[in-house]
Amino acid sequence: MHITVAGKQVATSDALRAHVEEGLGAITAKYFDHALEARVTFHKESKGSNGGHFACDINIHAGRGLTMRGEGHGPDAHRAFDEAAEHVAKRLRRYRRRVNEHARGKAPEREAAELARQYVVREPEGAEEAPAITGAEHPAVVAEPAAELHLLSVGEATMRLDLSDAPVLVFRNAANRSINVVYRRKDGHIGWIDPG
Has this prediction a pTM greater than 0.85?
no
List per-residue pLDDT tens for the chain, 196 residues long: 788 899 998 888 999 999 999 998 888 777 766 667 889 999 998 765 556 789 999 988 876 667 888 999 999 999 999 999 998 888 888 877 877 776 666 555 556 666 666 555 555 555 555 555 555 555 565 655 667 788 999 988 988 888 887 889 899 998 888 999 999 988 888 899 988 7
Q: Are 11 and 44 in contact (CB under 8 A)?
A: no
Sketch the domain layout of the chain as residue ranges.
2-104, 114-193
Any idea which fold 114-193 has?
SHC Adaptor Protein (3.30.505)
For the chain, percent helix, then strand, then coil, each to nearest 5?
30, 35, 35
Q: What b/e string do you get for 120-148 counting C-beta neighbours within 10 Å, with b at 16 or more?
A: eeeeeeeeeeeeeeeeeeeeeeeeeeeee
- Same fold across 2-104 and 114-193: no
Interacting residues of 24 by C-beta distance below 8 A, sequence separation 6+: 1, 3, 38, 40, 58, 60, 85
Domain 2-104, CATH? 3.30.160.100
